Amino acid sequence: MTFDLVLNGVRRTVQAAPGDSLMDLLRRLGCKSVKNGCDDGYCGACAVLLDGRAVNACLVFAARAAGHRVDTLEGLSREGVLHPVQRAALDLGAVQCGFCTPGIVMTALDLLARNPRPTEHEVREALAGNYCRCTGYVKPVEAILAAAAEMREAAE
């Protein structure tokens, strides 16, 4: 099937087989930040935004994105300037192997869009579906809280 979607702000006409997942489609389109950690909805490594809400792309049929907006990590930086969540993750040591990082960043964006002033508990709850085997979550949580503070300041 052929359909249109808006990927990282750009309208694209794409092709997918009926059983293709959104994860498979996005990786074929070059979005290699979308990681296949488990292919079964458990790890969050494939998290992307579908109309602004974080979804595990391995659980979503590609066709579900027809006519919708999809955002991945590839669309976050602007002219080489990282998004505050990306920069905080790097600056505060929240990235070790990095396999989980794109999914964590996209999940954080969903959280911060709905709740610009999350508590540490709320950040930890939001990350409950994102497995990280390296960091113990302390640094990613710190980075999201720091980015939230920076984004609030910038919005004032």
| 44 is an interface residue for ligand FES by CB under 6 A | yes
Residue 130 and residue 41 in contact, taking contact as beta carbons nearer than 8 Å = no
Number of residues that bind ligand FES (CB under 6 A): 22
Region from 30-38, 62-70, 84-92, 117-125 binding ligand FES, contact rule CB under 6 A = 30-38
| 61 is an interface residue for ligand FES by CB under 6 A | no
| 41 is an interface residue for ligand FES by CB under 6 A | yes
| 81 is an interface residue for ligand FES by CB under 6 A | no
End-to-end CA gap in the chain: 45
| 124 is an interface residue for ligand FES by CB under 6 A | no
**Three-state secondary structure readout of 4-73:** EEEECCEEEEEECCCCCEHHHHHHHCCCCCCCCCCCCCCCCCCEEEECCEEEEHHHCEHHHHCCCEEECH
| 39 is an interface residue for ligand FES by CB under 6 A | yes
Contact residues: ligand FES, CB under 6 A: 36-39, 41-46, 56, 58, 95-100, 132-135
